[in-house]
Chain A
Amino acid sequence: MTDFLQLFFSGLATGSIYALAALGFTLLWQASGTINFAQGEFVMLPAFMMLGFMAAGFPLVLSFAASCVLSVFVLGWLFKRGVVDPLFKFGMMPIVVATIGLSIAMRNAVRAGYSAEPQPFPNLFPDEVYNLAGVTISATDIGTFVFAMILVLATQAFLAKTVTGRAMQAVAQNTESASVLGINVPRMIFYTFAINAVLAAAAAILVTPTYLAKFDMGSSLGNKAFFAAIIGGFNNSRGALLGGVIVGVCENLAAAYISPAYKDAVALIIFMVVILFKPQGLLGKKVERKV
Chain B
Amino acid sequence: MTKRMTLKLVAAAAILGVAGMAQAQQTIKIANIVELSGPGTTAGTVFKNGVELAVKEINENGGILGKKIENYTVDTQTNPGVAKGLTQKAVDDGVFAIYGPVYSGSIMVSMAESKRGEVPNFTGGEAAAITAQGNPYVFRTAFGQSVSFPKLAKFINTKAKTLAVIYVNNDFGKGGRDTLAKLLDGSSTKVVADISTDAGQVDFSAAVLKAKQSNADAIFAYTNEEESARLLRELKKQGWNKPVIGETTLVGQKVIELAGDAANGAIAHVGLTVDAPNPEMLKFKAKYYQAYGSISDHNGIKGYTGVYVLKAAIEKVGKLDRKAVAQALHGIQISAKKNPGVIMDVSFDANGDLDRESYLIEVKNGRQVVTATLPPLNAKK
Contacts and interface: CB of A to CB of B under 8 A. Distances in A.
A170 B41 CA distance: 46
B333 interface: no
Task: Give the dominant DSSP class at A's interface.
Answer: helix
Interface in A248-264: 251-252, 255-256, 259-261, 263-264
Interface in B227-278: 229-230, 233, 236-239, 254, 257-258, 260-261
B202 A211 contact: yes
Contact of A116 (B36, B201, B213, B257): B36
B198 A263 contact: yes
A216 interface: yes
18 contacts: A3-B213, A7-B209, A10-B203, A14-B203, A116-B36, A116-B37, A117-B42, A117-B46, A127-B261, A140-B237, A212-B226, A252-B205, A259-B196, A260-B207, A261-B196, A263-B198, A263-B201, A263-B206
A52 B198 CA distance: 31
Nearest to B48: A116
A290 to B, nearest CB: 40
A214 B237 contact: no
A256 B258 contact: no
A11 B204 CA distance: 11
* Residue in B42, B206, B209 whose Cβ sees the most chain A Cβ within 10 Å: B206
Given A138-B237, A252-B203, 17 more contacts: A6-B209, A111-B37, A115-B45, A116-B37, A117-B41, A118-B254, A120-B257, A129-B236, A136-B237, A210-B203, A210-B233, A215-B37, A252-B206, A256-B206, A260-B201, A261-B169, A263-B198
Task: Give the dominant DSSP class at B's interface.
Answer: helix
Contacts of A220: 200, 202
A250 to B, nearest CB: 12
B196 A260 contact: yes
Interface residues of B, number: 35
A260 B45 contact: no
A216 B38 contact: yes
Chain A contact-residue range equals: 20 to 34
A140 B46 CA distance: 31
A131 interface: yes
B197 interface: yes
Contacts of B210: 256
Contacts of A111: 36-37
A211 to B, nearest CB: 6
Contacts of A118: 41-42, 226, 254, 258
Interface string A230-269: 0000000000000000000001100110011101100000
Going nearest first, the 9 A-B pairs with the smallest beta carbon separation are A255-B206, A256-B206, A10-B205, A116-B41, A138-B237, A120-B258, A136-B238, A116-B36, A260-B197
Interface string A1-41: 00100110011001000000000000000000000000000
* Residue in A215, A255, A256 whose Cβ sees the most chain B Cβ within 10 Å: A255
Contacts of B238: 6, 129, 136
Contact of A210 (B45, B230, B261): B230
B82 interface: no
A126 B257 CA distance: 18
A174 B377 CA distance: 75
